[in-house]
Amino acid sequence: MIPIEHFVLLSAALLCIGLLIVIIKKNAIVVLMGIELILNASNINLVAFARYDPSIQGQLFTLFVIIVAAAEAAVALAIVVRVYSYFKSSDLDRIKELKG
């Protein structure tokens, strides 16, 4: 059995990398990739702690997180395509029509 600390550390590192991607990248699609990484980091924690649970609730919850992530990616990419056709750019710094 692999100790639980390794899973938690891996998930913490992936969370931080995903957050860094969300903060520093300008392209909307890469920001979405960062969000996927953050969701995966949370899934690793859920699955790792489900090992100690007879009624594997963590794994079932992970299943639903994956479903919601897929729905989120579909809608978010549709919005990005729409925004691109309006602003002719997917650069988040140039999409500032509502900015005061």
Three-state secondary-structure class, residue 3: coil
CB 22 within 8 A of CB 48: no
How far apart CA 77 and CA 71 sit, in angstroms, is 10
Cβ closer to other proteins: 1 or 100?
A: 1
Total of residues contacting other proteins (CB under 8 A): 71
Question: How open is the CA angle 31-6-64, to the nearest 5 degrees?
Answer: 50
Contacts to other proteins from residues 35-94, by CB under 8 A: 36-37, 40, 43-44, 47-48, 50-56, 59-60, 62-64, 66-75, 77-82, 84-85, 90-91, 93
Contacts to other proteins from residues 1-40, by CB under 8 A: 1-10, 12-21, 23-30, 32-34, 36-37, 40
Cα torsion through 84, 86, 87, 93, rounded to 10: -70
Cβ closer to other proteins: 21 or 96?
A: 21
Determine phi and psi for 27, rounding to 5 degrees: -80, 135
Cβ closer to other proteins: 18 or 99?
A: 18
Q: In angstroms, give the least distance from the CB of 97 to other proteins.
A: 14
